Amino acid sequence: MKKLPILLTAALTTSVNAMNVDTMLLVGDEYGNGVFTLTNSNKITEFIQSNITQLIVEDGEITRVPYSENNFEDWHVTLTHNKTILEPHRQKQIGVRSLCGNKCDFTEDQYYLVSFEPSPYDPEGKLDSAVTINFGYRPLFVIPAQAQDIDYSISLDQGQLHINNTGNSFVRAYVDQCTDEVTEDCEVTIMSLAGRERNYPLPENIDLSDLKVTVVNHDESYRQDVTLSESK
Task: Determine the 3-state secondary structure of 101 from DSSP.
Answer: helix
- Provide φ and ψ at 29, rounded to 5°: -80, -170
Q: Flag whether pLDDT at 63 surpasses 80.
A: yes
Q: Write down the pLDDT at residue 132.
A: 53
Residues 6+ apart with CB under 8 A from 125: none
Q: Write down the pLDDT at residue 103.
A: 72
- The C-alpha torsion from 75 through 167 and 95 to 113, rounded to 10°, is -70
Q: Write down the pLDDT at residue 44.
A: 87
pLDDT digits (tens, 9 = 90+) for 113-131: 999 999 888 776 666 654 5
Q: CA 232 to CA 106: how far, in whole Å?
A: 41
Give the pLDDT band (50/70/90) at residue 227. Answer: very high
Domains of the chain: 19-143 (2.60.40.10), 152-228 (2.60.40)
Q: Flag whether pLDDT at 188 surpasses 60.
A: yes
Instruction: Quote helix, strand, coil % in the chain, to nearest 5.
Output: 5, 45, 50
Q: Write down the pLDDT at residue 15.
A: 38
